[in-house]
Amino acid sequence: MSKLLIEGVSRTFAGVRGGQPVKALMPVDLAVAANDFITILGPSGCGKSTLLRIVAGLEAPSEGRVLLDGKAVTRPGPDRGMVFQSYTLFPWLTVAENIAFGLRERGMAQKERDGIVASYVDLVGLKGFENHWPKQLSGGMQQRTAIARALANDPEILLLDEPFGALDNQTRGLMQELLLGIWERRKKTVLFVTHDIEEAIFMASRVIVMTARPGRIKSDVAIDLPHPRHYTLKTSPEFSGLKARLTEDIRVEAMRTTQVQPAEA
């Protein structure tokens, strides 16, 4: 049985000031197996973030439904951990308190929390920064804390919405390896949205390519590169082959958006 089932999910936004309603997402069907790492790749504005937010329960689909372990998603919940592109650490809490947030909301005792928090601080390499405020951290460290905060809750599935989009290239590469390393060791079902082709291939066991708006699934590419993956993989011939193929797929879509937009303006 699939861990996550997306059945005919679409999203239409009401028209602004009596205008035409905007179709952001055409009906999407997707089945995600347990412990799969899926990246959703698409040009900007293709509705990939909308799809992720619907899975998270932060937005309702116009049609269709999302099932997690056979149960319909109706609202956000701790079984679907999320990491956002914007820095969403709670600025009034320290790193350790941020990571403990979900556990505290669940009513877990302080003592039990401390042990879990310590292990996740370790996992994302933030030892020594437990008592720092988010403002004192770099962007990469903030996102590492955000990943730890989502994972500490032990969600059924981890949703990431371009989590490294705001980071510089070097940091992004390191973060990719960190997250992939965690996944390789701890196995988790992951849905990862990105517009970066290399990132999509490097992280995934399966890449879902989406079309330009209104988004639908264009292709579904299995990535059979061996694990554990090392950054040098990005220069291997197999990787280049995949990259060439996906680049072509995405390029066609990106061109469609840039051609459509001037006509609208």
Partner 1 sequence: MRPLHPVSPGLRTVLGISFFVLFIAFWAWITLGGHVNRIFLADPLSMLRDGWRLLVEDRFWLDILITIWRVFGGFVLASVVAVPIGIAMGAWKPVEAFLEPFVSFARYLPASAFIPLLILWAGIGELEKLLVIFVGSVFQIILIVAVKVGSTRRDLVEAAYTLGSTNNGIVRRVIMPANAPEIAETLRLVLGWAWTYVIVAELIGSSSGIGYMIINSQSRLATGQIIFGIIVIGLIGLLSDFAFKAFNRWLFPWSLA
Q: Is 106 in the site for partner 1 (CB under 8 A)?
A: yes
Nearer to partner 1, 149 or 218 (CB): 149
Cβ neighbours around 90 below 10 Å, total: 12
State the minimum distance, in angstroms, from the CB of residue 19 to partner 1: 24
Q: Measure the CA–CA gap between 113 and 165, rounded to whole angstroms.
A: 30
Q: How many residues does the chain have?
A: 265
Binding-site member from 42, 47, 102, 163 for partner 1 (CB under 8 A):
102
Report the residue from 88, 171, 205, 257 that binds partner 1 according to the rule CB under 8 A.
88
139 binds partner 1 (CB under 8 A): no
Q: In angstroms, rounded to a whole number, what is the distance separating the alpha carbons of residues 13 and 249? A: 26
Query: Which range binds partner 1 by CB under 8 A, 52-60, 179-187, 199-207, 220-228?
Result: 52-60
> Does position 96 bind partner 1 by CB under 8 A?
no
> Per CB under 8 A, which of residues 209..248 are in contact with partner 1?
none
Query: For partner 1, which residue of 101, 139, 225, 233 counts as binding (CB under 8 A)?
Result: 101
Binder among 81, 140, 214, 215 for partner 1 (CB under 8 A): 81
**50 lies in the binding site for partner 1 (CB under 8 A):** no
**Per CB under 8 A, does 135 bind partner 1?**
yes
Q: Which stretch binds partner 1 (CB under 8 A): 90-98, 178-186, 224-232, 257-265?
A: 90-98
Total residues at interface with partner 1 (CB under 8 A): 31
* Given 86, 119, 240, 259, the residue binding partner 1 (CB under 8 A): 86
Binding site for partner 1 (CB under 8 A): 56-58, 75-78, 80-82, 84, 86, 88, 90-93, 101-102, 104-106, 133-136, 146, 149-150, 153, 159
